[in-house]
Amino acid sequence: MGVNRFSEGIGRYFSAADLEKIRSTRVGIAGAGGLGSNCALNLVRSGFVLFTIVDFDCVEPSNLNRQFYFQDQVGLKKIEALKANLLRINPDLDINALDVRLEEENVRDIFAGCQVIVEALDGAHDKAMISRMFINGDKLLVCVSGIGGWGDSDRIRVRKIKDRFFVVGDMESEVSGTLPPTSPVVSIAAAKQADLVLSHVIGPCIKEKPLAR
């Protein structure tokens, strides 16, 4: 096996103790679209190596404006394409990629081994289901609500609902025909999700202001 240049480089930025915490945390990502693929990208670049990623869609041309996929991956299953892309960053990842639809009947079992759950789904019903199933548990739950359109990016905020439950977004601008999904806003929300996960696992690096409720 060759030298893992990623692992070699990231050691410059985190202590050995923090890297151990990061590398021992399994993150469950519900959805591999604009939020899920970009959140996974940020988490991998932050040193996380254990993932359970769930999605049943294929990469479409309309995904390429904001999702972590490439033209030659159109038609592939998203979980297969995303796994391949993430492994190019760090070849030592442990990714459990599941081509299934999340339902109330399977979601608890699928994410049983995860300490963190990132909700990155499209439909309001599915988002509500994830929240309902895990809001009172001991896992960190990071959801999104309101990331449509563009402009005024400071509206994408983090709200603390409970000690282990956070929501990212503006709570209003859901994606629609008049508020399409764009790379800047979707990427900002996904990055904020990843930052919440990193901060939860190793603690904040600076004094943070209280989150809006």
Tell me the pLDDT tens digit for each residue of 82-133: 999 999 999 999 999 999 999 999 999 999 999 999 999 988 899 999 999 9
Instruction: State the DSSP string of 122-134.
Output: SSHHHHHHHHHHH
pLDDT, the chain, mean: 94
Report how far residue 40's alpha carbon sits from residue 42's, in angstroms, rounded to the nearest whole number.
5
Q: What is the pLDDT of residue 205?
A: 83
Q: What is the mean pLDDT of residues 31-54?
A: 98
Question: pLDDT (tens digit, 9 = 90+) per residue, 60-78?
Answer: 999 999 999 999 999 999 9
> Domains of the chain: which residue ranges?
14-202
- Return the percentage of the chain with pLDDT > 90, whole number: 88
Confirm if 30 and 120 have CB atoms less than 8 A apart: yes
Specify whether domain 14-202 bears CATH 3.40.50.720.
yes
What order do you get walking across the sheet with 157-162 strand by strand?
Answer: 94-98, 50-54, 26-30, 116-119, 140-144, 165-169, 157-162
Mean pLDDT for 149-157 is 94
Which of the four pLDDT bands, split at 50, 70 and 90, describes residue 195? very high
